[in-house]
Structure formats: C-alpha cells, structure tokens
Amino acid sequence: MDHRIEHDSMGEMKVPADRYWGAQTERSRLNFPIGAGRETMPKEIVRAFGLLKRAAAAANRELLPERMTEEKFEAIDRAAEEVANGLLYDHFPLVVWQTGSGTQTNMNANEVIKNRGNEIAGRTLLHPNDDVNMSQSSNDTFPTAMHIAAVTALEDELLPAAERFAETLKELERANEDVIKIGRTHLQDATPLRFSQEISGWRAGVERGCELIRAAEKPLFEIALGGTAVGTGINAPEGFGEAAARALAEITGKPFVSAGNKFHALTSKDELVSAHGAVKALACDMMKIANDVRWLASGPRCGIGEISIPENEPGSSIMPGKVNPTQCEQVTMVAVQVMGNDAAIGFAASQGNFELNVFMPVIAYNFLQSVRLLAESIASFDERCARGIKANRERMRANLERSLMLVTALSPAIGYERAAEVAKKAHREGITLREACLLLGYADGKSFDELVRPEKLV
C-alpha cells in the first residue's frame, strides 16, 4: 500500500496515501484494534461532526475574522459539508472502543477536513488544530455531536416509522369496529370488548411513545460547544457558544441553542439517558404489541387463532407447512436489545468524574443502535405483518359465546356470589351460562337473555 508521511506533536506517522486522515487518526487506528471493521464510530456521529465543524467555522469567521479568514472558512465549510453529507465516511476508520472522550474521532474529523480543505484550496492552508479545531475541544465537540446525532436519528428515522405504524393501526381499527371478542386479563378470559378497542390500545401506546420521545428530545437541542476543555470556554472568544449554536440551527433547520451551563454539558449525560428512556418506553410497547399479535395468531388449530397474519416464509426445517410469527419475533428481540442498551447507557452516564464523562463513545453507539434498530424493526413489522392482520370473526364469536366471564353482566341483578356460582357450575358441568343460571333458578330465560348481551357490554 502506498503511504505518505503525516506528523503531529509526537512525531511522524505513515498514513495510507489514498486517505484524508492524519497522524493522530493513524495512531488511534493502530492502538485500538478492538472491533475494527465491525464497531466503527457510527455514521450519524461522523456526519454530526461535519455539521458542527461548519457551525464552529462560521462562528469563528464572525468573532475571529483575523484568524478565520474567508479563504480558510470556505475550505473548511466545503470539506465539512462533504463530511456531513456522508461523502467521506471511508476516511473515518476509528472504532468506538477508543478514548472515552472521543478525542481521536474529533481529531479524525479535524484531519480529514484539513486535508480535504487544503485539496479544495489548492495549497497548504489549514492546520487541524489551529484552524479546523479553532475555539473547540474534543470535550465540547463530542457531546455536541452526540446531541446532533441523537436528534437527527430520532426525527429522521424512529419517529416517522412509529407514526406510519400508528396510521396502519388506525386503519385496522376502522376495519374492525363491528367485531366483538372476548377480553383477556392474566391470560384468562375476561369481559368482552370490540377488536377495534383492543387495537386502539396498541395504537395509543405507539402514539404516546412518540409524544414521550418528542418531549425528551427537547433538552438535546442544548449543545456543549463553547465549553472547550472543562466548561470555562478557555481559548474560545466570548459568545462563541451562542454564535456556533445559531449557525448550527441555520445549517440544520433545527432549534439548537447553547447550553446554559457548560460544566453540566461536558460531564453529565442526563439528556441522552432521558431520551433513550423514552426510546425504551416505545420498545416496551412494541414488545407488548408483538406478543399480543403472536398470541392471537397462535395455532392455526390448537391455539387462540383469533387473527391471521401474513405467511412470509416456511417456519420449520422438519415440520412441513409450519409458518411462524417471525415479524413478531424480530420485534421482541429488538426490544430486548434496546432494554440492554438502556442499561449500558445508564451505567456509562453515571461515570462522569469531575469535569468530564469518559464513556461518551459507548453511550453514542448504544443510543444510535437502539434508534436505528427500533426504527427498522417497526417499519418491517408494519409492512410485513400489521398491514396483513385479519380478524377470524367466526373464531372470535365462538370464543365469546363459550366464555364464562359474560356472567359479569349478571352480578348487578343476582349478586356477585350467585353469579360466581353460575360460572363455576357451567364450567364444572360443561354447560352454558344460560343453562346453569336456569338450573340454579337465579333467572328465567328471558331475563338472562336481556342481561347477557355482549354488544351491551363493550
């Protein structure tokens, strides 16, 4: 492989000639062979660095025009825009399992933008620290990148997928308004409800999950830029954080603002813990929905069998004709992964020491994996399962008619204890509630038929 020589404060390093990164990136690449090629820094973080470097350059041009000349700004802005647009991702080789401040990924961005910017300028113009990293520190850029990446992933991936799924459930509600079925609590028969009402519970869970995410993402719009090394803003001009936040808001169209307390912004990860908690809440609802669907579809002959779902692929290598609820299973596995990620994020966020948290890459990695997996999981379940759910009306009607819990409608007329006696007699002797009630003499046929009418119980 062809190489070129790059240098940093520790000396010279050989770097692949066809890559824009420099000496510090190469040192990290060699020193952290952990998950290489599999667990590299998420693309969302890389793109966020492109956005924040553009914003920082704009703020420096405004506040330090004697240092951030128009030529330097143009070179940085164009190169950083390419990073933000995902055009240079192959030049970001570093893994998650590096320094806990993300310093090496910040320098990776600085070096790539410096070398690409010099190429754009046609001469040696930029220095990675003095120019691209001007008025910044890894300690305020990486937290800023985390917030940008989190907001972007939530708004562009997860929320649209969840909101489309909620619309599918609305359509399913409308299609099943006339279907009455038995309810179930504790996996036991309960009083009846409309199938549309059961679906509405699923839909409301998804909608509430979206509401919780939108509420939890608001603090993520506060960014740490301007705090530099420990929160004091050393080496940054007065007003840099505010100017950078304004520029970032203009570039992204999202309402980013400068964090009010930079000491908190550097060391605490409360905002990401809270936002991921909302993501976990949606995952919990998805777990519940997927489990309901696979229980209701169980069978086809020896289970509940009240709904049918799409038959997407063979379910067994040995049992011909078997079809399994595979979309439900992928949802539940993703939900478990999100719950595990939430534990990792919580532990990592609790480890801030003095003026910095040094578990940031693992927080970012788990947060973004949760959002990506859950968004893709919901979209797949929506398209390949939920849209094809069909009510087995005959099975629902038969289960409803056999249910003992319709006896609940008798309680106001004959009392709880007598109603319980009716249910137990019917169950013990394998007869209907009507027959048991008449045999016990607690009501005549006409009264029973007036009281026990499922359509009046929903």
The catalytically annotated residue of 7, 316, 350, 427 is: 316
CA distance 152 to 313: 34
Q: What is the mean pLDDT of residues 185-191?
A: 96
Query: Strands 257-258, 222-223: parallel, antiparallel or unpaired by DSSP?
Result: parallel
pLDDT at 375: 98
CA distance 111 to 91: 10
The CA angle 227-230-232, to the nearest 5 degrees, is 55
pLDDT at 1: 72
CA distance 458 to 214: 33
| CATH class of the domain defined by 159-393 | mainly alpha
Q: What is the mean pLDDT of residues 38-56?
A: 97
Span 404-456 CATH architecture: Orthogonal Bundle (1.10)
SS3 33: coil
Catalytic residue check, 186: yes
Q: How many residues does the chain have?
A: 458
| CATH class of the domain defined by 3-134 | mainly alpha
Matching residue, tokens 């990148």: 145
> Across-strand partners of 308?
390
CA distance 406 to 428: 16
Would you say 332 and 287 are in contact if contact means Cβ atoms under 8 Å apart?
yes
Angle subtended by helix axes 433-440 and 416-429, to nearest 10 = 120
pLDDT at 178: 96
What string of H, E and C letters represents the secondary structure of 225-253?
A: CCCCCCCCCCCCCCCHHHHHHHHHHHHHC
Give residue-wise pLDDT tens across range 126-151.
999 999 999 999 999 999 999 999 99
Q: Where are the domains of the chain?
A: 3-134, 159-393, 404-456
Give residue-wise pLDDT tens across range 298-349.
999 999 999 999 999 999 999 999 999 999 999 999 999 999 999 999 999 9
Catalytic residue check, 316: yes
Give residue-wise pLDDT tens across range 5-16.
999 999 999 999
Please state the pTM of the whole predicted model.
0.96
The catalytically annotated residue of 3, 7, 91, 186 is: 186
Average pLDDT, the chain: 97
Give residue-wise pLDDT tens across range 16-36.
999 999 999 999 999 999 998
SS3 224: coil
Q: What is the mean pLDDT of residues 425-444?
A: 95
Q: What is the mean pLDDT of residues 283-291?
A: 98
Per-residue confidence at 37, pLDDT binned at 50, 70, 90? confident
pLDDT at 36: 85
